[in-house]
Amino acid sequence: MVRPDAQADERAAESALRPHDLAAFRGQPRVSEQLGLLLTAARQRGSVPDHVLLSGPPGLGKTTLAMIIAAEMSAPLRISSGPAIQHAGDLAAILSGLSEGEVFFLDEIHRMSRPAEEMLYLAMEDFRVDVVVGKGPGATAIPLEIPRFTLVGATTRAGLLPGPLRDRFGFTAQLEFYDAADLEHIVRRSAGVLGADLSDDGAAEIARRSRGTPRIANRLLRRVRDFAQVRADGRITLDLAHRALDLFEVDAIGLDRLDRAVLTALCRRFGGGPVGLSTLAISVGEETETVEEVAEPFLVREGFMMRTPRGRVATRAAWSHLGLTPPTATTAIDAPGIF
By mean pLDDT, which of 2-16, 138-152, 195-209 is the weakest? 2-16
How far apart are the C-alpha atoms of 130 and 140, rounded to whole Å?
Answer: 9
Cα angle 108-286-157, degrees, rounded to a multiple of 5: 20
pLDDT (average), residues 197-202: 90
| Residue 328, pLDDT score | 64
215 in helix, strand or coil? helix
pLDDT (average), residues 251-276: 87
| Residue 34, pLDDT score | 93
| Residue 335, pLDDT score | 47
pLDDT for residue 334 is more than 70 = no
pLDDT for residue 300 is more than 80 = yes
Q: What percentage of the chain has pLDDT greater than the value 90?
A: 31
pLDDT (average), residues 40-46: 92
68: confidence class by pLDDT, cuts 50, 70, 90: very high
How far apart are the C-alpha atoms of 303 and 224, rounded to whole Å?
Answer: 28
Write down the mean pLDDT value for the chain.
85
pLDDT (average), residues 38-50: 92
pLDDT for residue 138 is more than 90 = no
**Contact status, residue 250 vs residue 209, Cβ threshold 8 Å:** yes
222: confidence class by pLDDT, cuts 50, 70, 90: very high
Closest of 152, 126, 156, 144 to residue 88, by C-alpha: 144
Q: Which amino acid is at 88?
A: A
pLDDT (average), residues 115-124: 85
118: confidence class by pLDDT, cuts 50, 70, 90: confident
By mean pLDDT, which of 106-115, 196-205, 298-307, 319-328 is the weakest? 319-328
288: confidence class by pLDDT, cuts 50, 70, 90: confident
| Residue 92, pLDDT score | 85
144: confidence class by pLDDT, cuts 50, 70, 90: confident
| Residue 7, pLDDT score | 61
Output the pTM of the full model: 0.83
| Residue 4, pLDDT score | 66
88: confidence class by pLDDT, cuts 50, 70, 90: confident
Cα angle 67-72-75, degrees, rounded to a multiple of 5: 75
| Residue 323, pLDDT score | 84
339: confidence class by pLDDT, cuts 50, 70, 90: very low
pLDDT (average), residues 195-201: 89
| Residue 10, pLDDT score | 54
Catalytic positions are: 62-63, 107, 156, 215
214 in helix, strand or coil? helix
| Residue 135, pLDDT score | 65
Q: Exposed/middle/buried for 129, CB within 10 Å: 0-12, 13-18, 19+?
A: buried
176 in helix, strand or coil? coil
| Residue 238, pLDDT score | 92
117 in helix, strand or coil? helix
pLDDT (average), residues 151-173: 88
| Residue 36, pLDDT score | 92
273: confidence class by pLDDT, cuts 50, 70, 90: confident
